[in-house]
Amino acid sequence: MDKRFVFDLTLPEWEAWGKERGFPRYRAEQIYQWFVRGVQDTSRMKNIPDSIRAALAEDYILNGLTVEKELTSEIDGTKKFIFRLHDGHRVETVLMKYKTGYSLCISSQAGCKMGCAFCASAHAGFGRSLTSGEMLGQITVISDIMGERIHSVVVMGIGEPFDNYDQLIIFLKAANDPHGLNLGARHITISTCGLVPQMIKFIGIDLQVNLSVSLHASKDLLRRSMMPVAGLYDLDTLLDTCRQYVTKTGRRITFEYSLFQGINDSVSDARDLANRLRGIHCHINLIAANEFEGSRYMRSTPDHVRLFQQTLEQMGMTVTLRREMGTDIMAACGQLRRGMQESEQT
């Protein structure tokens, strides 16, 4: 399809379109501000003439993000949104409420090609990468629905952000644009499974965006059995790149570590992890792993989780245990999308 999604366009692009169409220049700013607010329905744009609304519908994709399902946790109020894209693909977005405000976990791809053995998204197939506007729209549409500003964003939903590198960078700059969404770079976190070449490129951009790396193992052999990407970039290479990030940006890096029973949750594993990461300005975020039907990866017991955390702390590491949210609505990335697709296929 040649048409672009309206959320993909920058203000200068709207100005160029308006000039081509013969509309007054100030109309571009009006249009842009509606889309920055997450509005896709032109009938809500009361200050835009019918002729311009018709031109928008003619030239662009308007309803590129449709909420197909919205679930609310009875436990903690976490919300999960299933968006259907204009071409039928689905993505998941999770809204969480903290004392500091709303935090949103967005998707960067419809599906994922990384093939991590423990991930529900990997078993649901890959559709395509999202455009920058489809990433941005997850923020603005949900902000419009909730009537509140989103405080922070993590690109940690379905997909590997660095596998969609070019659109990711466009998204980051658009989200950070003071004339647009104006979301502070330090309020954005990118999570990667460790695509080293893209990480090196990312280090060179002048944005104070947080970086989170999915580690899940402290030894190459084990990590390769869980994450195919580890067959391309071993731990020494990955961690050297992480050191470059810390040195270049002066920012602390986060390592995500999901705990799986009898696989990577022993005291010995904790000690190996601490030794691997020693000297890197980092924070370890332990995750009580999510299970899904057909997976051999089972979550660690609470006792093993506590012992693992205590061992890391005793060895001088900064550690937190990720708070579980929305467990009654399958808020973990990929779970609900996978279930919906399987139901349709059945």
Cα–Cα dist 137/140, whole Å: 5
The answer for residues whose C-beta is within 8 angstroms of residue 74's C-beta and 6 or more apart is 328
Cα–Cα dist 135/85, whole Å: 11
Write the CATH number of the domain with boundaries 4-61: 1.10.150.530
Structure tokens at 99: 């004392």
298 touches 261 (CB < 8 A)? yes
Question: 123 pLDDT band (50/70/90 cuts)?
Answer: confident
Question: Nearest 5°: phi and psi at 129?
Answer: -80, 150
Q: pLDDT at residue 224 above 60?
A: yes
Question: 136 pLDDT band (50/70/90 cuts)?
Answer: very high
Domain with CATH 1.10.150.530 in the chain: 4-61
pLDDT at 284: 97
Question: Nearest 5°: phi and psi at 96?
Answer: -125, 140
Structure tokens at 304: 């093993």
Structure tokens at 284: 């370890």
Residue identified by tokens 């405000």 is: 101
The answer for residues whose C-beta is within 8 angstroms of residue 204's C-beta and 6 or more apart is 248
CA-based R_g, the chain, Å: 21
pLDDT at 294: 67
Rounded to two decimals, what is the model's pTM? 0.92
Q: What is the average pLDDT across 34-44?
A: 96
CA 209, 330, 260, 343 dihedral sign is: negative
Question: 193 pLDDT band (50/70/90 cuts)?
Answer: very high
Mean pLDDT (the chain) is 92
Q: pLDDT at residue 325 above 80?
A: no
Catalytic-residue membership of 92: yes
pLDDT at 57: 96
Of 13, 20, 92, 134, which residue is the catalytic one? 92
Domain with CATH 3.20.20.70 in the chain: 65-345
Structure tokens at 182: 């104006």
Q: What is the average pLDDT across 248-266?
A: 95
Q: pLDDT at residue 327 above 80?
A: no
pLDDT at 333: 54
Question: 313 pLDDT band (50/70/90 cuts)?
Answer: very high
Beta bridge partners of 190: 155, 211
For the domain made up of 65-345, the CATH class stated in words is alpha beta
pLDDT at 12: 96
pLDDT at 135: 98
Residue identified by tokens 């946790």 is: 73
274 touches 319 (CB < 8 A)? no
DSSP letter at 230 equals: G
DSSP letter at 206 equals: S
CA distances from residue 279 to 178, 226, 256 in whole angstroms, order as listed: 36, 25, 17
pLDDT at 336: 52
pLDDT at 322: 86
Structure tokens at 74: 């009875």
Structure tokens at 95: 């809204």
Of 242, 256, 333, 344, which residue is the catalytic one? 333
278 or 121, higher pLDDT: 278
Q: What is the average pLDDT across 33-55?
A: 97
Length of the chain: 346
Structure tokens at 227: 């994450």
Share of the chain above pLDDT 90, in %: 82
Catalytic-residue membership of 193: no
